[in-house]
Structure 1
Amino acid sequence: MRRNKQEPPIKIISHRGASGHRPEHTLASYELGARFGGDFIEVDLVATADGALVARHEPEISGTTDVADHPEFADRRTTRTIDGREYTGWFTQDFTLDELRTLRAVERIPDIRPDNAAHNGSHPIPTFQEIVDLAKSLTRELKRPIGVYPETKHPAYHAEIGLDLEPPLLAALLDNGLTGPEPEVPVFLQSFESDSLRRLRDAQVPCVFLMGTEDHWRRFLTPEGLAEVATFAEAIGPAKDLVFPRDDEGAISEPTSLVDDAHEAGLLVHPWTFRSENHFLPANLRGDGPRSYGGFAAEYEAFFAAGVDGVFTDHSRHAYLARELFLAEG
């Protein structure tokens, strides 16, 4: 994929928005991520009972909304199995969009991000259309492209319950002029499921195959596996540890060949997820206190030097400053 020479060579992907500063997947978080220097608004998409696409980290919403405080929905608490894992709580598939809009977002990890919890109850659950509208508005205001980077979340599960994610996503992209080689705002489509990406190829925009650290991803990490990925995607989104493993002490170690191998296969590399709090950093970059910021700049520098093409980050401003310093130093 060719880059516009005027665009930065390393993309900053605001992971669920500026989720290190506001409750994730809210319009306030998305806007702040862009204003902090993010190039893309990253969105997890799930479906409501009436087929609307909304932004939540998972279909189960007890940890990211105030649904437990709504007695009118108490009887909808249930247990479901999603991709082999059992969850108990409330699920977007059991709410219409109008019902879901009566809920408010809350901070998912308040012990690590207590300042975010101060915003609990302030923001509704956004639809994908509202996020696209925001990206277009910010593109005009900031005079630089603010793209959208939606993920189909558990697409096989949604298909099983008759709420396929791909058709409404493709329709929304088409309706908003976000398909083809020159969409109105930049787009990447992402999923952990290759079948979902294949169903999205008609959008004619770059697709990103997400990869975790579990054993079943190993076959895709070889040159042969990456060549297979290149048949249905333009990029990979690997967990950070697949690029820079951590040693037995939890410290960052030497990089693998994944970035070079992916580039050889013609794939961009966008690893996830960068977070600045000590709780998440490699052991050798941590300071004091799990909530405080540690040596995040050194982590970004290592990945930038390894040749990654973008980073998923909860702290877009930190990524932006680290990128500017790296590029300035040549």
Structure 2
Amino acid sequence: MQRLPVILTLFLLIAACGISEISKAPLPVEEPILIAHRGASAYTPEHTILAYEAAKQAGATYIEIDLQMTKDGVLVAMHDEKVDRTTDGNGFVKEYTLEELKQLNAGQSFNRTYPDLANKQFENLEVPTLEEIFLHFGDDVNYYIEMKSPGIYVGMEAKLLALLKQYKLIHVNEGLPKVIIESFNEDSLTKVHQLEPRLPLIKLYSFKEEAAALSVQEYNRLRSYASGIGANLNSVTTDFIQEVQQNGLQIYLYTIVNEVEMKQALNLKPNGIFVNNPNLGIRIKDEFD
């Protein structure tokens, strides 16, 4: 009769081991990967289908998509919580229904801000939904998705996962994962991890200049759910990057805007680099190799 508790204990230990083995999704070993920040945002209106197309044509490893959510619960690609900077509208994304948001022009402000890059092709661009992006590109690109302000948007994580599953974008094959998810919000990332442990997760940080540092406790906590971290270029040193990697995590640097910064980033040997201009990033990386 005493063998039953022992068997039960062994079963629970085996189950626990099984859970721990799927506790963190692997990231690619090829490095450094290049992530097109908001698409090819250096020369096309950010977070538009056109910007993502330009990034794909340039050969970026991933396209980055920032997520906001409309009043009627639709995930859309936009960096800011407000529409003012990138459209001809004003106010918060969460105050717009999708139908209302679709009336805004997502390209005119780019033409005004960057007259040297202005293009008639940019004049009538829409804010795309995440589903429209998946429908347009499907399996042809890799997606690096940031959940913006998930504390404001209740249910963002579940909606994102539902779309990823609907379009069969959660891959467990060897090599590059089709989707990587990032956020500054740890609670949101752990929620995603609990719902779908197969997805690689990146915890974002914004450190003070040359002051990037993580405690032993932070490393332990990160390893429980994350595959890596994201950090601002001007905050990191070679020693910090090596420390992160020696702790079993990858590190991705943001955001490179010119040739000098690209060379600086490559010299630091991170696992990935966010670039506004994927053409420039790829050229410098090829020369660097």
Relative to the length of structure 1, the TM-score reads 0.72
Is contact 2:63-2:143 (8 Å) kept? yes
Between the aligned partners of 1:196 and 1:36, the Cα distance in structure 2 is 32
Going from structure 1 to structure 2, the CA distance change for 1:326 and 1:171 (only over 3 Å counts) comes to: same
SS in 2 for 1:221: coil
User: Could you report, residue by residue, the CA deviation over 1:61-118 in whole angstroms, capped at 9, with x for unpaired residues?
Assistant: 0111112xxxxxxxxxxxxxxxxxxxxx411111111221111103667786333444
User: Could you report, residue by residue, the CA deviation over 1:233-289 in whole angstroms, capped at 9, with x for unpaired residues?
Assistant: 10111011122xxxxxxxxxxx3522101101111111100112xxxxxxxxxxxxx
Going from structure 1 to structure 2, the CA distance change for 1:222 and 1:117 (only over 3 Å counts) comes to: farther
Pair 1:269-2:231 in alignment: no
Letter in 2 for 1:29: A
Pair 1:189-2:211 in alignment: no
The corresponding residue for 1:21 is: 43
The corresponding residue for 2:200 is: 206
Give the aligned length: 259
Between the aligned partners of 1:267 and 1:242, the Cα distance in structure 2 is 17
Pair 1:174-2:176 in alignment: no
**Structure with higher RCO (Cα < 8 A, 6+ apart):** 2
Going from structure 1 to structure 2, the CA distance change for 1:169 and 1:116 (only over 3 Å counts) comes to: farther
Going from structure 1 to structure 2, the CA distance change for 1:213 and 1:107 (only over 3 Å counts) comes to: farther
User: Could you report, residue by residue, the CA deviation over 1:129-169 in whole angstroms, capped at 9, with x for unpaired residues?
Assistant: 122233326x2xxxxxx20011110111223xxxx311100
Q: 1:126-141, aligned counterparts within 5 Å?
A: 126-136=128-138, 139=140
Going from structure 1 to structure 2, the CA distance change for 1:231 and 1:110 (only over 3 Å counts) comes to: farther
- Between structures 1 and 2, the one with greater helix share: 2
Going from structure 1 to structure 2, the CA distance change for 1:219 and 1:38 (only over 3 Å counts) comes to: closer
RMSD, aligned α-carbons? 2.5
Selected match of 1:65 from 72, 84, 87: 87
Letter in 1 for 2:64: E
Selected match of 1:154 from 149, 161, 164: 149
Distance apart, 1:185 and its partner CA? 6.4
Is contact 2:28-2:177 (8 Å) kept? no
SS in 2 for 1:318: helix
Identity %: 28
Is contact 1:23-1:117 (8 Å) kept? no
Relative to the length of structure 2, the TM-score reads 0.81
For structure 1, the residue ranges without an aligned partner over 5 or more in a row are: 68-88, 140-145, 244-254, 277-295
Selected match of 1:313 from 271, 275, 285: 275
Between the aligned partners of 2:269 and 2:216, the Cα distance in structure 1 is 17
Between the aligned partners of 2:125 and 2:70, the Cα distance in structure 1 is 18
Is contact 2:41-2:276 (8 Å) kept? yes
User: Could you report, residue by residue, the CA deviation over 1:307-326 in whole angstroms, capped at 9, with x for unpaired residues?
Assistant: 21111110001111111122
